């Protein structure tokens, strides 16, 4: 994605320090969607930050943009299928299913997905994935 968008610097920060066993293609789809949304909805910015960390028995991934942000009323609805924020529909193409699909993928991995945002200050989309305790115990045996 960095090569396709040379105007933006996509930085990766942090480490989980463990391997995660999940559906690789679907998790790549989530990250691709979040990073491309961060670029799309931040036309006046040049940076997207991706953070990875381990929090207790979870891996946490966050994608932070420096764009227009999302109003509170819209934040409650953006994970619904076909929902588009009214004010941006005319300027930014889309069908309103990307975040819905991401939410479903993370739920299928028994994880959580949320957004923190403030209009004019950008957004941080985050998800957690639980570490598989059975697999870790098997790997350590």
Residue 138 pLDDT class (50, 70, 90 cuts): very low
d(CA 132, CA 18): 11
Q: Is residue 65's pLDDT more than 60?
A: yes
Could you count the other beta carbons within 10 Å of the beta carbon of residue 56?
A: 8
What pTM value is reported for the model? 0.85
Q: Are 16 and 53 in contact (CB under 8 A)?
A: yes
User: pLDDT category, 48, cuts 50, 70, 90?
Assistant: very high
Evaluate the CA torsion angle 79, 35, 1, 30 in order and state its sign: negative
Choose between 67 and 134: higher pLDDT. Answer: 67
**CA pair distance 121, 109, nearest whole angstrom:** 30
Name the percent of the chain lying above pLDDT 90.
58
- What are the residue boundaries of the structural domains of the chain, listed by start? 9-131
Strands of 123-130's sheet, edge to edge?
A: 9-13, 47-55, 58-64, 123-130, 112-117
Residue 74 has a CB neighbour count (10 Å cut-off) of: 18
- Residue 132: band (very low, low, confident or very high) from pLDDT cuts 50, 70, 90: confident
In the numeric block, the tokens 């009214």 are attached to 86
How far apart CA 137 and CA 141 sit, in angstroms, is: 6
| Three-state DSSP class for residue 130 | strand
**Mean pLDDT value across residues 95-123:** 91
Tell me the average pLDDT of the chain.
85
- Looking at residue 34, what DSSP letter applies? H
pLDDT at 31: 97
Quick one: fold of 9-131? Heat Shock Protein 90 (3.30.565)
- pLDDT band for position 5 (cuts 50, 70, 90): confident
What token pair was written down for 56? Answer: 């207790």
82-100, pLDDT tens digit by residue?
A: 565 655 655 655 556 789 9
């Amino acid at each position: 994605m960095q090569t396709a968008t040379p105007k933006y610097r996509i930085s990766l920060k942090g480490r989980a320090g463990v391997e995660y066993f999940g559906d690789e293609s679907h998790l790549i789809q989530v990250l691709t969607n979040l990073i491309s949304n961060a670029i799309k909805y931040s036309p006046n910015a040049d940076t997207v930050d991706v953070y990875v960390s381990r929090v207790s028995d979870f891996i946490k991934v966050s994608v932070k943009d420096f764009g227009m942000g999302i109003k509170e009323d819209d934040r409650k609805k953006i994970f619904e299928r076909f929902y588009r924020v009214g004010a941006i529909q005319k300027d930014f193409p889309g069908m309103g299913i990307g975040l819905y699909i991401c939410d479903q993928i993370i739920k299928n991995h028994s994880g959580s997905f949320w957004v923190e945002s403030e209009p004019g200050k950008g957004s941080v989309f985050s998800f957690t994935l639980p570490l598989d305790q059975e697999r870790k115990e098997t790997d350590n045996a």
